[in-house]
């Protein structure tokens, strides 16, 4: 069963990390990493809301994506490394995890539109539900509960600086895209040898931008979103091919 923790335990740990009333938080969570949480996903959500209060905001991804699906021999022949199904809007369970799915279905939460939709609660919830840009622009923070920087959705917001040559490496063949049309699937054909976002995470640690603590069995990170994603933007502008191991 792992470590047993309660909503109160989570609140205390969030305070230790530096989460304060009135903050805007981009939250990503793996509930299973905590151990046993009394009250499950609802207890985690309650702890977050208690910590930031109604003058703060909780923002989570509600992307309409399945988990990574197994690749067939034919997929491998076509060079695929990732295969994800796009889910209908009403699908209750997504790859975002049980905390994000539970959060989205609450009556006091506002959810945006589209494939990469966002759900938000608290101050300016309707604005936050349009995407993470409002949080980025207004000194918001990220809380990675049991997950690392590879779940930080705001990182994608600076990938307009990603060179086309790198984008092309991810792009599947015409054959694969005919089998898996883009209105139903997300597919990719390349995994970089280096993990570029981990290099950004390490740099953010060196600069003192990331604080961490354990909540139950989960390692949890707390960081200011804009300064960290700007490290990524700068790397993409100055040394993108080195960053991606090309």
DSSP code per residue over 89-100: TT-S--TT-HHH
Other residues' Cβ atoms within 10 Å of the Cβ of residue 31: 20
What is the rounded distance in angstroms from the CA atom of residue 24 to the CA atom of residue 131? 13
Neighbour-count burial of 174, counting CB atoms closer than 10 A to its CB (0-12 exposed, 13-18 middle, 19+ buried): exposed
Structure tokens at 149: 């920087």
113 Cβ neighbours under 8 A, 6+ residues apart: none
Structure tokens at 11: 């609140």
H helices of the chain, where? 7-17, 40-52, 73-77, 98-104, 125-128, 133-137, 164-170, 174-179, 196-206, 225-238, 240-243
pLDDT tens, N- to C-terminus, the chain (246 residues) = 467 899 999 999 999 999 999 999 999 999 999 989 999 999 999 999 999 999 999 999 999 999 999 999 999 999 999 999 999 999 999 999 999 999 999 999 999 999 999 999 999 999 999 999 999 999 999 999 999 999 999 999 999 999 999 999 999 999 999 999 999 999 999 999 889 999 999 999 999 999 999 998 999 999 999 999 999 999 999 999 999 998
Cβ atoms of 36 and 217 within 8 Å: the answer is: no
Question: Nearest to residue 151, comparing CAs of 82, 217, 61?
Answer: 61
Cβ atoms of 17 and 213 within 8 Å: the answer is: yes
- What's the Rg (C-alpha) of the chain? 18
């Amino acid at each position: 069963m792992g470590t047993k923790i309660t909503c109160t335990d989570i609140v205390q740990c969030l305070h230790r990390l530096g989460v304060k009333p009135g903050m805007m938080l981009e939250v990503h969570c793996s509930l299973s990493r905590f151990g046993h949480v009394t009250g499950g996903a609802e207890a985690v959500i309650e702890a977050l809301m208690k910590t930031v209060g109604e003058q703060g905001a909780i923002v989570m991804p509600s992307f309409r994506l399945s988990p990574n699906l197994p690749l067939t021999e034919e997929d491998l022949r076509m060079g695929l490394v990732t295969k994800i199904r796009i889910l209908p809007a009403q699908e209750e369970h997504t790859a975002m995890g049980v905390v994000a799915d539970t959060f989205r279905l609450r009556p006091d939460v506002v959810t945006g539109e589209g494939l990469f939709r966002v759900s938000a609660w608290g101050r300016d919830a309707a604005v936050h539900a349009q995407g993470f840009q409002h949080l980025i622009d207004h000194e918001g923070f990220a809380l990675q509960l049991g997950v690392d920087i590879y779940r930080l959705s705001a990182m994608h917001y600076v990938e307009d600086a990603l060179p086309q040559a790198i984008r092309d490496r991810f792009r599947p063949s015409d054959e694969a895209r005919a089998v898996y049309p883009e209105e139903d699937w997300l597919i990719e054909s390349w995994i970089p040898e280096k993990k570029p976002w981990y290099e950004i995470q390490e740099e953010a640690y060196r600069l003192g931008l990331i604080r961490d603590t354990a909540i139950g069995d989960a390692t949890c990170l707390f960081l200011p979103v804009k300064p960290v994603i700007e490290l990524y933007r700068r790397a993409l502008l100055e040394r993108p091919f080195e960053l991606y191991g090309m």
